[in-house]
Amino acid sequence: MKLEIDITEEEVLGMYGYQSLEEVTPQIKKTATEMIAEGEELANLKSVTGDIEEIEINSKENLITINGDYKIESDYLTDKLFGANKATAGLVTTGFRLEKEINNYFNKGDYLKATILDIVGNRLLDRITKKVWHTVRDNAVNQGLGVSGYYSPGEGDWDIADQEFLFKLASGEKIGVNLTSKQMLSPQKSLLFIIGQGSNLEVNEYEPCQDCTNQDCPFHSADR
């Protein structure tokens, strides 16, 4: 997928732990620049989506029924999708090459490059996820609908086991992503999510950190 990628040294090193670029040594800044370029070169950004034609939300029972039969019980997701009557299942990935190179650096003991390249991969995944969200939002607006944010199994009280259902809806195998028996996505830098759509939803911009309860997450230190 073609993206206008604008990953900066400041955001990457901010997630590495620095408060400002003035604190960073020339060597670490040089490494960050190199890893940003390498990450953008190695990443094979792909996405796929699948339509969910019908969603019924029962707030009293914290129950969501998808396409008339599949049920998700989650207080978290019921709250986030309230007002939706349809949805999109999405899957994005940065591909295997980037993941392989991160592991190569770790195996060689070059932890600085490995860690920074890993951060770059996370930022690339964030970029493509937001690209898909904006595409879904634009399509919904053209139909007179609004959208929710994007949410993934495992967040809040949403059971990770529902990954299998969403994976099938999104046809994840089309972009070379696999789902293991333990509900893990491979490549690891992949994300499966749902975006609600409905006339009563009015999310114009979305920042995932607003919904995150993990105060130790390094993404809190970066502008997602």
Give the separation between CA 57 and CA 71, rounded to whole angstroms. 10
pLDDT given at position 4: 63
Q: Which two tokens stand for residue 134?
A: 């904006």
Query: How high is the mean pLDDT in each 10-residue block of the chain (224 residues)?
Result: 74 92 93 96 96 96 96 97 96 97 98 98 95 94 93 96 97 97 96 95 64 51 42
Give the separation between CA 199 and CA 203, rounded to whole angstroms. 11
Domain that holds residue 167: 9-221
**Whether 47 contacts 131, CB under 8 Å:** yes
In sequence order, which ranges of 44-178 are alpha helices (DSSP H)? 75-81, 96-107, 111-142, 163-170
**Whether 51 contacts 139, CB under 8 Å:** no
What's the half-sphere exposure (Cβ side, CA atoms, 13 Å) at 222?
22
In a domain, 40, yes or no: yes
pLDDT given at position 211: 56
pLDDT given at position 212: 55
* Helix, strand or coil, per DSSP, at residue 49: strand
Closest CA to 101 of 44, 17, 176, 47: 44
In a domain, 70, yes or no: yes
The pTM is what? 0.88
CB atoms closer than 10 angstroms to residue 208: 19
In a domain, 138, yes or no: yes
At 77, which amino acid appears?
Answer: L
Where does the chain show beta strands of DSSP type E? 46-52, 55-58, 63-66, 70-73, 86-93, 146-151, 178-179, 185-186, 190-198
CB atoms closer than 10 angstroms to residue 188: 15
In a domain, 2, yes or no: no
Give the separation between CA 68 and CA 56, rounded to whole angstroms. 8
Domain count across the chain: 1
Q: Which two tokens stand for residue 101?
A: 């190179």
Closest CA to 89 of 177, 200, 210, 212: 177
In a domain, 90, yes or no: yes
In a domain, 54, yes or no: yes
In a domain, 92, yes or no: yes
Beta strands 63-66 and 70-73 are: antiparallel
In a domain, 96, yes or no: yes
Closest CA to 195 of 89, 97, 92, 95: 89
Q: What is the CATH number of the domain that holds 16?
A: 3.40.109.40
pLDDT given at position 117: 98
